[in-house]
Structure 1
Amino acid sequence: MVAQIYWLKRCQILRPGHRADGAIARYPDQAGVMPYFSNFAALAMLEEPSCFPLVERYLDWYLRHLEKNGTIRDYSYDSDLNFKTAKPDSEDAYAGTFLSLAFNYCKKAGQTGWVKANLPDLKRVARTIINLMDRDGLTFALAGYRVKYLMDNCEAYRGLADFAELLESLGDRDASYFKSMAEAVANGIERSLWNRLNSCYHPSKTGWIRPGVNLKKFYPDAACQIFPVIYGLIEPGQARGSNLYQLFNSYQPNWLTIKPPDYPWMILGLYACLHGDFGKAYEKVRYAREAYIDTNSGNWFCAEAAFFIITCASLLQNRDKWLFVQ
């Protein structure tokens, strides 16, 4: 875990003179920045208090690079920090995960001063999600790409809910508004994406069309089922959450030993922890170390390292529940 935190620190781009610019790249030796993945990297860095200043620099970098409408593009830097930009993979998920990062930074570092100083920009990011909402409460991935994904909507919900809680703690009068918008997204997920017949979620919705679900297909059909639990829309211990976990394990029994050239999907380790399945979470961590970290796999990048760290942190916090029963 400590080594991976150091690895993430090396992903933060340095200016000449070795001061962190703030941007967090996908790899230590490259300069491609996808803010969606960087948000997870910074979230994991909060597990180490000495990284709080680095996380704040990243938060500052994100806000400095907002477009006028509150979205952010992907960035690619050269050795002199000249950059090119590219269209983001999504707008709703980028914004949602950033707001959750800001909430967790304030919660763990206690930096309410930073939040208060940046509230106008943070609200601009939150309104990005709201501007992408359709009449059914779901968010489009991009303003120009009218598909509503379960994964993105779970992240958008969590971001708005976290931001509303943050505003409430500050006594900001807009807290209730953003909370109502989070609830609208949650209601949209329940009404439009939950498949009662098959007791699982549709991965997306385009217009009136919701594709069928084949849980033998890992992505997106099976993988998206974990997101409502990860982002707090349903409780892992309740009937729906437990049933989805059982279904996932039944249809995807090899998730513990995913190996290159596929990505490891370390978020599944966290998913197992949330269900109290710490033995499988440990096996996921152990196998990832052997197959990806020790081999310097190119499929190991900042977001995977982030969920490796977060899973390890959960295992350490719950070690009395599993360590001596292995």
Structure 2
Amino acid sequence: MEYILNHLNAQFNWLKSCQILNPGSDADGAIKKYPDQGWIMPYFSNFAAMAMLEDPTSHPLVERYLNWYLRHLEKNGTMLDYHYDDNFNGKTAGPDSEDSYAGTYLSLVCAYHFRTGQTGWVRENLPSLKKVASVIINLMDRDGLTFALAGYRVKYLMDNCEAYRGLKDFADLMYYLGDQDAGIYQSKAKAIASGIERALWNSSSRCYYASKTGLFKNRVNLKKFYPDAACQVFPVLFGLLKPDSERAAHLHKVFNNSQPDWVNIKPPDFPWMLLGYYACLHGDHERALEKIRQGVESYIEPKSGCWYCGESAFFVLTCTKLIQLKGAGFQAQTIFWPGPL
């Protein structure tokens, strides 16, 4: 336990060192991918802020990030990547996706409200938050699935799981606030979930397709880590499947059989720390702990360039989940990260 706590605290500090704190500047609140570089990829920053919510002293920092994100929305609610130089002058680049950026931000907002009770912040920013939610809705096709980008008509399982969770969390928050649009967001979340089930679940192979382009879906090769095998964990991570369901248990077994060495991923590959969190959700705390050790020994201590804010975020979330599991006698937990189910 002491090992986990020491590295957890160190990663809280590392994540906070990624944030730009320069009041009055355009960059204030942004969370960089690395402490010593100026690139901000909001998708990863959303997870970093989610992890920072585990540290109550960082809650004001999370609000500064939330504000930075809203200040930089495009007119249609989408978000670009940013880079700031040493004088906090910014330039932009196209995002990796639009559906995932919006979905993970909405989940972060909901988690922030859940942890802090800051209803006032949500109400004050409700028009902008609804604009973010509209990004996902506007990307939905007739089958219920979202395109990654308005100009890139591919529907990814990973993105759709994140978009589903974002709209579901936002619907829950709107119901809590008594907002009349809550039902709209709930119905759209259900439409994405139905689309995933109808279009991306392969009942004969008993696994998910990684993506769909038009009517075409690539054959799944579970020996191929990314995206074929890695995407199979996302329905559980983002609440589409309960970890103790028959399908989730099957996918967990299949993933471990096809990728038995996932705990020992090393540079030059990225560590995929979210797999440690996934293991926790299935009660596999021993491999989750080993994943933490591998993260420390192979990435953190050698100061690997493959260690960035998104990986640190899931390191923190895995550590906090292990602490919860330890306190409960390592009984399997079925809750997702801090946010209403």
| 2:82 match | 75
User: What is the CA RMSD across the aligned residues, in angstroms?
Assistant: 1.4
1:20 deviates by 7.8
1:228 aligns with 235
The amino acid across from 1:125 in the alignment is V
TM-score (norm. length: structure 2): 0.93
**Paired residue for 1:61?**
68
Which of 167, 178, 190 in structure 1 is aligned with 2:197? 190
Partner of 1:47: 54
- 3-state SS of paired residue (1:67): coil
Q: Which residue of 1 aligns with 2:339?
A: none
Runs of 5+ consecutive residues of structure 2 not aligned to the other structure: 1-7, 332-341
Measure how far apart 1:15 and its partner are: 2.2
Structure 2 counterpart of 1:84, from 85, 88, 91: 91
CA contact under 8 A between 1:12 and 1:20: conserved in structure 2? no
> In structure 2, the residue corresponding to 1:47 is in which secondary structure?
coil
Runs of 4+ with deviation above 4 angstroms: 16-20
Q: Is the 8 A contact 1:95 1:126 kept in 2?
A: yes
Mapped to 1, the partners of 2:297 and 2:9 lie a distance apart of: 16
| 8 Å contact kept, 2:280–2:322 | yes
**2:167 matched to 1:160?**
yes
Matching residue of 1:97: 104
CA spacing shift, 1:208–1:11, aligned 2, 3 Å: same
TM-superposed CA distance for 1:16, in Å, is 7.6
Deviation at 1:322, TM superposition (A): 3.8
The AA in structure 2 aligned to 1:321 is G
The aligned counterpart of 2:329 is 321
* Identity score, percent: 64
Match in the other structure for 2:280 = 273
Instruction: Tell me the alpha carbon deviations over residues 50-71 of structure 1, each in whole angstroms, 9 at most, x when there is no partner.
Output: 0000000000000000000000
Of 112, 127, 135, which aligns to 1:128? 135
Please give the secondary structure, in 1, of the residue aligned with 2:29. strand
Could you list the per-position Cα deviations for residues 75-124 of structure 1 after superposition, in whole angstroms to 9, with x for gaps in the alignment?
00001111110000000000000000000000001111100000000000
Which residue number corresponds to residue 24 of structure 1?
31
Return the offset for 1:18.
Answer: 10
2:50 and 2:108 in contact (8 A); partners too: yes
CA displacement at 1:179 relative to structure 2: 0.2
Quote how far apart the aligned CAs of 1:14 are.
3.0
Alpha-carbon contact 1:150-1:224 (below 8 Å) kept:
yes
Whole-Å separation in 2 of the counterparts to 1:16 and 1:139: 36
**Secondary structure in 2 aligned to 1:84?**
strand
**Distance in 1 of aligned mates of 2:177 and 2:315:** 32
AA aligned opposite 1:269? G
The residue identity in structure 2 corresponding to 1:206 is T
Q: Is the 8 A contact 2:99 2:146 kept in 1?
A: yes
Aligned length: 323
Write the letter of the residue equivalent to 1:158.
R
Structure 1 pair 173/278, CA: closer, same or farther in 2 (3 Å)? same
- The answer as to whether partners of 2:274 and 2:315 remain within 8 angstroms in 1 is yes
Query: Which residue is 2:12 aligned to?
Result: 5
1:138 to 145, 151, 176: 145
Residue 318 (structure 2) aligned to one of 293, 297, 311: 311
Whether the 8 Å contact between 2:25 and 2:88 is mirrored in structure 1 is no
- 1:29 offset after TM fit, Å? 0.8
Following superposition, the deviation at residue 172 of structure 1 comes to 0.5
Per-residue displacement from partner, 1:267-291 (whole Å, max 9, x unpaired)?
0001000001111100100111110
Measured in 2, the distance between the counterparts of 1:232 and 1:16 equals 37
Deviation at 1:19, TM superposition (A): 11
Alpha-carbon separation, structure 1, partners of 2:25 and 2:133: 33
What amino acid sits opposite 1:118 in the alignment? N
Query: What secondary structure, in the 3-state scheme, does the structure 1 residue paired with 2:318 have?
Result: helix
Q: Secondary structure at the match of 1:113?
A: helix
Structure 2 CA distance for aligned equivalents of residues 16 and 125 of structure 1: 25
Question: Does residue 106 of the first structure (1) align with residue 113 of the second (2)?
Answer: yes
| Partners of 2:27 and 2:84 within 8 A in 1 | no
> 1 CA distance for matches of 2:118 and 2:58?
13
Is there any run of 5+ residues in structure 1 with no aligned partner, and where? none
The one-letter code matched in structure 2 to 1:86 is: A
Taking structure 1 as the reference length, the TM-score comes to: 0.97
Distance (Å, rounded) in 1 between the aligned partners of 2:325 and 2:11: 20
